[in-house]
């Protein structure tokens, strides 16, 4: 039984994240999507709201669990006896940050492997930041987020 952990901020989950989750859920027996909770960094959604939105968006996938964690990712991975960390890689601009994180995690735990998956082309330019901005400016976000996320996002930004 191989377990993969997909960590992130997910503030909120968008179709690019969902694309990576769907791909990973076919590759590993058990997928844990983990919302990283950082007390110093507040977002638009609370960690619990993010978890609920991910759960609602992934309910069609039988092997996906959703939770949140605080502290170092390497500890969370170890506690959950996971085999790999999955991250999405969209463009060259993501590479430096992802490379830095993967190498830091490898230094903290030499057994931790990071695997990168690419979303499909239509999701490659998506980011939570940009989706929130479009929602705030009353643009159409239908094609970027699951419906349940759209409803909550519009509530938050007051559109
Ligand atoms: O969606 P994001 O913001 O790119 O995700 C970044 C995340 C949450 C995966 C990263 O910040 C993280 O792993 N945070 C947990 C704290 C940690 O382990 N930091 C050291 C490794 S970079």
Write the pLDDT tens digit of every residue in 134-158: 999 999 999 999 999 999 999 999 8
Atom of ligand 1 at shortest range from CA of 76: 18
- Whether 150 is catalytic is no
Instruction: Please tell me the distance between residue 92's alpha carbon and the centre of ligand 1 in angstroms.
Output: 19
pLDDT for 40 equals 76
Global model pTM greater than 0.85: yes
Q: CATH assignment of 3-124?
A: 3.40.50.620
pLDDT for 92 equals 84
**Residue whose CA is at the smallest distance from ligand 1 atom 6:** 8
Read out DSSP for 8-50? E--TT--HHHHHHHHHHHHHSSEEEEEEEE-TT---SS-HHHH
pLDDT for 159 equals 62
How many Å apart are CA 84 and CA 135, to the nearest integer?
Answer: 34
Write the pLDDT tens digit of every residue in 2-24: 999 999 999 999 999 999 999 99
Domain positions in the chain are 3-124
Write the pLDDT tens digit of every residue in 50-86: 999 999 999 999 999 999 999 999 999 999 999 999 9
């Amino acid at each position: 039984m191989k377990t993969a952990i997909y960590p992130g901020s997910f503030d909120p989950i968008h179709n690019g994240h969902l694309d990576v989750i769907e791909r990973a859920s076919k590759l590993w027996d058990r997928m844990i999507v983990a919302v990283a909770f950082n007390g110093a960094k507040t977002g638009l959604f609370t960690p619990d709201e993010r978890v609920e939105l991910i759960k609602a968006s992934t309910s069609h996938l039988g092997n996906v669990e959703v939770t949140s964690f605080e502290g170092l990712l390497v500890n969370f991975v170890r506690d959950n006896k996971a085999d790999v960390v999955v991250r999405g890689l969209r463009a060259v601009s993501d590479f430096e940050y992802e490379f830095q994180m993967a190498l830091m995690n490898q230094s903290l735990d030499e057994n931790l492997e990071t695997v990168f998956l690419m979303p499909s082309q239509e999701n490659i330019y998506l980011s939570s930041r940009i989706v929130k901005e479009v929602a705030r400016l009353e643009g159409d976000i239908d094609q970027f987020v699951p419906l349940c996320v759209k409803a909550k996002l519009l509530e938050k930004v007051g559109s």
